[in-house]
Amino acid sequence: MSLFDSLMSAGGAVASVLLTLINLWLLFWLFVATILPSFVVVMLGRSGLIASLHFLVQGSIYTVIYIVILYISILVVGRFGPPDDRL
């Protein structure tokens, strides 16, 4: 394994960890924006419905961002992952 392959493998591992952390962060906010508003509606009634609609729009935006970053992470890990040693 050459030095370049070692650096690419290490870079792929770092990119994989960073993208996993970003995905977990976005999943947390996706939960906050989609599941939490249902509890707000139950507790606050009609005024909670407006807040729920706001969170639903925000949740859909986070969903799109999450899907895009997940797609990019799959591409990055596939491109910079560990080299295939099977010959």
Rounded to the nearest 10°, the torsion over CA 38, 40, 44, 46 is: -50
Please say whether the beta carbons of 16 and 81 come within 8 A. yes
Query: Which pLDDT value is given to residue 4?
Result: 54
Compute how many other C-beta atoms are within 10 angstroms of the C-beta atom of residue 59: 21
Q: Which residues of the chain have pLDDT under 50?
A: none
Query: Which pLDDT value is given to residue 17?
Result: 75
Q: How far apart are CA 43 and CA 32, in angstroms?
A: 16
Please say whether the beta carbons of 1 and 83 come within 8 A. yes
Question: For the segment 67-76, what is each residue's pLDDT rounded down to a tens digit?
Answer: 787 787 777 7
Query: Which pLDDT value is given to residue 31?
Result: 74
